[in-house]
Amino acid sequence: MKRDSVVLWVFGFLIFGVWIGLQFRTDVKQDRSKLDQFFRYLEYEYVDTLDIDGLMDDAMDHILGSLDPHSAFIPAEDSEYIAQRMQGNFSGIGVEFRIHEDTLVFVSIMKNSPAASYGLLAGDRIITIDGDTVVGPQLTNDEVTSRIKGEEGTYVTFGIMRDGLYLTAAVQRGIIPLESVVSTQMLGSLGYVRMERFAETTHDELLVALDRLDSLNMRGLILDLRGNPGGYLHEAVAIADEFLSEDKSIVITKYGDGKTHTSKASGGQRYEDLPLHIIIDGSSASASEVVTGALQDHDRATVYGTTSFGKGLVQEDKILSDGSKVRLTVAYYYTPSGRSIQKPYEGADLPGQMEGTVFTSDSGKVLLASGGIEPDIYLSADSSNSYYWSMSFGTMDAFAFDQIDAQRSDYELWTFDRFVTDFELSDMQLYSFLEYGSYGLTLEDLSSTDMDEIRFLLKAAYAKNIWGFDAYRNVLRTDDVVLKEVVRAASTTLK
């Protein structure tokens, strides 16, 4: 019997056992004993050797996946990474790397990081880590990450090839922030903040960003939540609270036992009257939708973009003995007006989506409820040409690395501002990219739109390989047609 068949068998057995337990409320200890006995039979008497732990993990994954779209089993090896992203920092040295032709190469060094303090440079080839050779086809990203990360205050030693010289560097690990507010800038009289997720530090990061923008005479704020998958509910509530007056509802949470909890604004915040404009898209989910829905329901923000993802289920993580987690749905989110955020799925009973039900904002504006948050003003980038080439980003990134690595000292003479305004890829570089990617195309095969799109995305990839991800995002923003339209529309509303 193949592993998949055994998994389905185990899954069916567990589902049946759970159903029987629910119907007849059998003794819990007896149920556990039965399951223990079942897995002992598999482990000791099945004809082939089985990975019992793996079977149990797979069975739990199947069970949770059958409940709703967002309940999930998280293996122990993934739990730490997820937790680090949500706590807003990790212990490491602050480098971005890639494995290039079987060699570990540092691509960028974070400012003010341990790596920067100890003199590591972009372009360094790493030959050894803590005395062990890390060169060859067997090298993986996971292996490199596990070797570089470690407890704060401990050291990691690198053997480095730089400009033909072999060097060693012992770097003390420190706390590396994982910022969720990834961009803050003034666009005319409007402040702009892009938020990638709702982590433990997001509210604090936003306050720092708002204070900076306020010092630059911000008269309105654009909050960009495109691509933000959500995160901690308490961070979403705290952020919405910054813009709402006292006792305004932020989110209604309805639990399976019938209990309901309504989070409300505390009032007296500094930005309660600041004009707000929010951008969302189909990847804006969960906590992003909580913030957007609350501010839209209370007429505090104009919402632009496309319909959000529609994740209105509340999960709690239950930690198991081996460090794995059961991410279990325990409640539904509703906006203050009563709209269900969750998009329809099989088996769901969501009264906030009933056909014919009309929801309104505080001022009486009609609000649609079909799962997700509907924008007030629909704006969508024309992706007909960009989609294909954006899917080629991995190839573009590798090509840009090769080009820059061959002339790194020349490229590092550029300032970012001059790069944005003056840097252009030549036809020869464009031709080289097509050859590199084995697309089977020549310049003559490309439309002028395709050529412009490739040049632009390659320019962003070059910026990433010189200055890092922030530079990549900032280059992309220079041709963000949705943002440009929001700035234009928002600017006309300023008094």
Q: Which residue has the higher pLDDT, 89 or 269?
A: 269
Q: What is the pLDDT of residue 80?
A: 76
Look at residue 370 and tell me whether its pLDDT is greater than 50: yes
Q: What is the pLDDT of residue 349?
A: 55
Is residue 286 among the annotated active site residues?
yes
Give the model's confidence band at 24: pLDDT under 50 very low, under 70 low, under 90 confident, else very high: very low
Look at residue 438 and tell me whether its pLDDT is greater than 50: yes
Is residue 297 among the annotated active site residues?
yes
Q: Which CATH topology does 181-378 take?
A: 2-enoyl-CoA Hydratase; Chain A, domain 1 (3.90.226)
Q: What is the pLDDT of residue 4?
A: 55
Q: What is the pLDDT of residue 350?
A: 52
Q: Which residue has the higher pLDDT, 136 or 223?
A: 223
Average pLDDT score over residue span 172-192: 93
Look at residue 88 and tell me whether its pLDDT is greater than 80: no
Tokens of 112: 């003010």
State the catalytic residue, choosing from 297, 337, 343, 459.
Answer: 297
Residue 470: how many other CB atoms lie within 10 Å: 17
Closest CA to 171 of 154, 187, 188: 154
Contact 276, 346 (CB under 8 A): no
Contact 402, 428 (CB under 8 A): no
Whole-prediction pTM = 0.82
Q: CA separation (Å) from 491 to 244, 276, 295, 495?
A: 22, 11, 19, 9
Q: Is the dihedral of CA 212, 214, 217, 219 positive or negative?
A: positive
Domain boundaries, the chain: 3-66, 89-177, 181-378, 386-479
Question: Which of 41-50, 192-201, 358-367, 450-459 shows the lowest mean pLDDT across its residues?
Answer: 41-50
Please name the amino acid found at residue 342: Q
Q: What is the pLDDT of residue 243?
A: 98
State the catalytic residue, choosing from 286, 337, 340, 386.
Answer: 286
Asked if the domains at 89-177 and 181-378 fall in one CATH topology, the answer is no
- The alpha carbon torsion through 84, 87, 88, 94 (nearest 10 deg) reads -30
In this structure, CATH architecture of domain 89-177: Roll (2.30)
How many percent of the chain have pLDDT more than 90? 59
**CA 154 from centre of chain:** 29
Residue 214: how many other CB atoms lie within 10 Å: 15
Alpha carbons 310 and 369: distance in angstroms, whole number: 10
Residues 6+ apart with CB under 8 A from 86: 197, 199, 200, 231, 232
Q: What is the pLDDT of residue 385?
A: 47
Residue 57: how many other CB atoms lie within 10 Å: 19
pLDDT digits (tens, 9 = 90+) for 320-329: 888 899 999 9
Q: Which residue has the higher pLDDT, 223 or 54?
A: 223
Alpha carbons 333 and 309: distance in angstroms, whole number: 13
Residues 6+ apart with CB under 8 A from 170: 118, 155, 156, 157, 158
Closest CA to 275 of 373, 188, 368: 188
pLDDT digits (tens, 9 = 90+) for 281-301: 999 999 999 999 999 999 999
State the catalytic residue, choosing from 149, 248, 254, 311.
Answer: 311
Tokens of 430: 């464009």
